[in-house]
A and B are shown apart, each in its own frame.
Chain A
Amino acid sequence: MAGPLLETKLHVPRGRRGLVARPRLSERLSRGAESTLTLVSAPAGFGKTTLLTEWLAGAPAEGRSAAWLSLDRRDNDPALFWSYLVAALQAASAGVGAGALLLLQSSQTPIEAVLATLLNDLSASSDDVVLVLDDYHVIDARDVQDGMAFLLEHLPPQMHLVIASRADPTLPLSRLRGRGELVEIRAADLRFTPDEAAAYLNEVMGLVLTAQDVAALEGRTEGWIAALQLAALSMQGRADIAGFIAGFAGDDRYIIDYLVEEVLQRQPDNVRSFLLKTSILSRLSGPLCDAVTGQDGGKPMLEALDRGNLFLIQLDDRRQWYRYQHLFGDVLRAHLLDEQPDLVHELHLRASNWYERNGERSEAIRHTLAAEDFERAADLVELAIPAMRRSRQEATVRGWLEALPGEVVQVRPVLIVGYAGALLLGGELEGVEARLEDAERWLDTTTGNHVGPEASSAGMVVVDDEEFRALPGTIALYRAALALAGGDVPGTVRHAQRALELSPEGDLRRASASGLLGLAYWTSGDLEEGHRAYADCMAGLRRVGHVADTFGCAIALADIRRRQGRLGDAMHTYEQALQLASEQGGSVLRGTADMYVGISEIHRERNDLPTATQYLLRSQELGEHLGLPQNPYRWRVAMARIREAEGDLGAALDLLNEAERLYVSDFFPNVRPVPAWRARVWVEQGALGEALGWARERGLSVDDDLSYLREFEHITLVRVLLAQPRAERVEGSIDEATQLLDRLLQAAEEGGRTGSVIEILVLQALAHQTQGDLPAALGSLERALTLAEPEGYVRVFADEGAPMAILLRAAARVAPGEQKGIARDDVRRLLAAVDKTEDSPPVSQGLPEDRQGLVEPLSKRELEVLRLLGTDLDGPDIARELVVSLNTVRTHTKNIYAKLGVNNRRAAVRRAEQLDLLSRTRDR
């Protein structure tokens, strides 16, 4: 993107000699520099650029840095517009926008993310910057306008925007006006007053006019500066000024046309010819003009025209590039079109050839299209596509392809596929497959190598060999993306694998194919393959330098490792990704926020809640623009689980509800849906009605076929079943739950999903406990502990509360060596965690070790409930008696049964009498 074009767009025009001082306008501009936006809105030729140039020359004195961007039609491509805008700002305030440029290179970053990063840089900068956007009226692309509106809304106080346009731009002007943040300079302000006109004509242009003359001119032109300039030029050196003025004032003709003709008539033939021929150019340089006119002497001609004040504007400091003042150029073109219409196409072609030879392909294409030489334009577009794809200028490519006639594109498979890609990237899936098939038809006619740039016998045209050879791989890749978008996982795998076979090493398409493959494998539960493919994708992206996109891969890689029970590896993945990004230098990259959330979740599982919370706060501080699309929802789930661990179930539910609202799929498989998380909190609260409702809604049953995608939901279903109190349980449903657990265990083990295996074993242990089978419970627990200990899992045990504490104590009592694999230290550590979670401290009345004769003594509250269990009162009555909710009673009852080692009310009362627990409570 560097080079002469960039330089001319950013060049702050130099002040012209010979100008009328306009202090009233300069003052207004200086005042405007205190507000958000200054709008200079007036038709062409009203002196906007000149005024701003003059004013900017004084900017350093006022302590401001000036940035300038001259816009043209091509800047409607957001990739170009924002890159140029950042480049312009960097010229004024070094170091600003480095991060924004990086984000622009990342795929499909929403523009708000880029702008937020840029705005942060600007806010942090100590420079006071004025940015002028000249010729803003050429911008009509909706997304660019939206981005500008966002920028204006969040502009920091040190930055001021000036927009020069021929029409009021589509921006929230009335809002800015209402808030006093808009300063306007309009046509009425810009017109020369009679005094200013007099000063210009007599003092600056050296004419000697009477007051009447000036009045006549001023009246006819109405202060239109361009017209006065042309008139002055016409009058210089003219003998009969009075005659000219009379004729001019009495004429109805379009002023500019009249005056330009006057000026043209007085030029020597060679000058006139030069002016007309070069009028087709948007920028002029000596060599370019020579190529177009077919003659020498372009450079001295331009310098002469500039000296003669003939509406040439310098575009750089080296007198290399100029442009015509717009009105003047337009009139010249109209003359050319009228006098030599047949020459126009030829001139455009000469310009195109020069640009092509000098490495400016986009300009070459523009001129070729203007010349309507569509074959040649198509050739150039084909050659331009790879570079355009790398710099993400899809909008530009699409514009070109749509400007070409259908029959030209149809015989060029590279262009057909290019268009399919542009549609795909724009989210328009409709026409993509049809075009891929069109392209394939050409590929089928040329088995093996094709025949170079000449058309093959089938009429096909190929100009870029390399792109052509890569077409089968590109087509496969696009088909994989289509399959993914359509939810066809096997199809995605098939096409992505084919794309891998067909794409060369070190090509971005290869990395993209790996990414799609990873996603497809993961979705179908093949975790190890998925991990491998994602790792390939990440390596491929690094090789090509697309660091900003590697975070998406890191999330997938870490998620997979966590499913596989490898917390340490997952943590390493997050840390490595952050390390890689920081090596880029400059600002923070999008996706950093997601890494912090992942790290937080691992700390949470390892029961370091303060650190887990800290990481979530750090993630939040980064701001939404530094998170990938799923981050808002993931953050809230992570926070909900921390709150859950702290015992604040209400807060957890609120967060989960928010998470549900914010959920977006971003193509990742929804393996742990929010409603399932919510159901788990309900279970903990004892809100079993809601939890059962969820299971019903999701159509979950113990007889379902198992699949990776529903594993989490099925495990949640088991929790719901196990939580049902004895009295309400359907006969044998515990058995159903344990059967489902067995099946889930087998599936998880087969799939290598150790993370799930641990949780299933924990539930199995609890289920056995409920059935009163302590040895079996300890057996499952031992297996879970063996798997969990190396990775530091804590909460998967601690979250189960009192029943788990009982089992852990029992496990601790086993003599070392008798049951291998459970170190007493680990169990004690887990117990400490569980005890902290328990909010009802055990009653301590100085009883001997086996207090109450129980492994785990009952709390005061539980004893109260137990006493009432010994009466005829039913659940609701007990609740009323104790002035608590029915759910609370159920929770206490569940814990009582666990502690007493029973599973029904009668048995509980019997055991309580055996242990003489009921008599004690009567002494309250």
Chain B
Amino acid sequence: MRTNGPYEIRLKGHLDSRWAGWFDGLTITNENDGTTLIQGSVVDQAALYGLLQKIRDMGLPLVSITQVEPDQPDVPTTDPR
């Protein structure tokens, strides 16, 4: 299954753990600055827009949405000696 992302969506306001089921399959992290981070991969762009619509319908202000590079293996930056 091809995935899109992972995406990081930042909202203003904290979400109770109760909402984990609502955002099935995504990780919810309440940050210290009063925002919430929703992280995870979505199947495709249509799923992404569906997710954004859910957020819109809750009335939660959207702060940012970023696509994150998948983890790369560490690359040495110094000459091997």
Contact = CB atoms under 8 A, between A and B. Distances in A.
Nearest to B32: A252
Interface residues of B, number: 18
A257 B22 CA distance: 13
Interface string A566-609: 00000000000000000000000000000000000000000000
Contact of A254 (B21, B56, B57, B60): B60
B58 A254 contact: yes
Contacts of B34: 252
Contact of A252 (B13, B22, B56, B59): B13
Interface in A302-345: 326-327, 330, 333-335, 337-338, 341
B20 interface: yes
Contact of A334 (B13, B14, B19, B56): B19
Given A44-B57, A330-B58, A335 B18 contact: yes
A330 B57 contact: yes
Interface string B8-49: 000001111111111000000010001010000000000000
A253 B13 contact: yes
A256 interface: yes
B20 A338 contact: yes
B2 to A, nearest CB: 19
Contact of B57 (A255, A257, A326, A338): A326
Nearest to B35: A252
B58 A256 contact: yes
A43 B56 contact: yes
A254 B15 CA distance: 6
A167 B57 CA distance: 10
A91 to B, nearest CB: 29
A45 interface: yes
Given A337-B21, A338-B21, A341-B21, A257 B16 contact: yes
A191 interface: no
Interface residues of A, number: 23
Given A252-B13, A252-B14, A254-B16, A166 B21 contact: no
A334 B22 contact: yes
Contacts of A676: none
A45 B56 CA distance: 12
A337 B24 CA distance: 10
A636 B36 CA distance: 66
A334 B57 contact: no
Contacts of A326: 57
B57 to A, nearest CB: 6
A369 interface: no
A257 B19 contact: yes
B31 to A, nearest CB: 9
Which residue, A45, A254, A335, A337, has most C-beta atoms of chain B within 10 A? Answer: A254
Nearest to B36: A254
Contacts of B59: 43-45, 224, 226, 256, 327
Which residue, B14, B20, B21, B56, has most C-beta atoms of chain A within 10 A? Answer: B21
B60 A166 contact: no
A627 B17 CA distance: 61
A167 B15 CA distance: 23
B58 A252 contact: no
Nearest to B59: A43
Contacts of B15: 253-254, 257
Nearest to A224: B59
Nearest to B22: A334
Nearest to B20: A338
A740 to B, nearest CB: 62
A908 B54 CA distance: 92
A44 B57 CA distance: 6
B35 to A, nearest CB: 9
A334 B15 CA distance: 11
A330 B34 CA distance: 22
Given A224-B59, A330-B57, A252 B30 contact: yes
Contacts of A327: 57-59
A225 to B, nearest CB: 11
Contacts of A330: 57-58
B79 to A, nearest CB: 48
Which residue, A226, A252, A255, has most C-beta atoms of chain B within 10 A? Answer: A252
24 contacts: A43-B57, A44-B58, A44-B59, A166-B56, A224-B59, A226-B59, A252-B13, A252-B14, A253-B13, A253-B16, A254-B14, A256-B59, A257-B19, A327-B57, A327-B59, A330-B57, A334-B18, A334-B19, A334-B22, A335-B18, A338-B19, A338-B20, A338-B21, A338-B22
**Nearest 6 CB-CB pairs, A to B?**
A337-B21, A338-B18, A254-B13, A43-B59, A252-B14, A252-B34
Given A224-B59, A252-B13, A261-B16, 7 more contacts: A166-B57, A167-B56, A253-B16, A254-B14, A254-B58, A257-B15, A338-B20
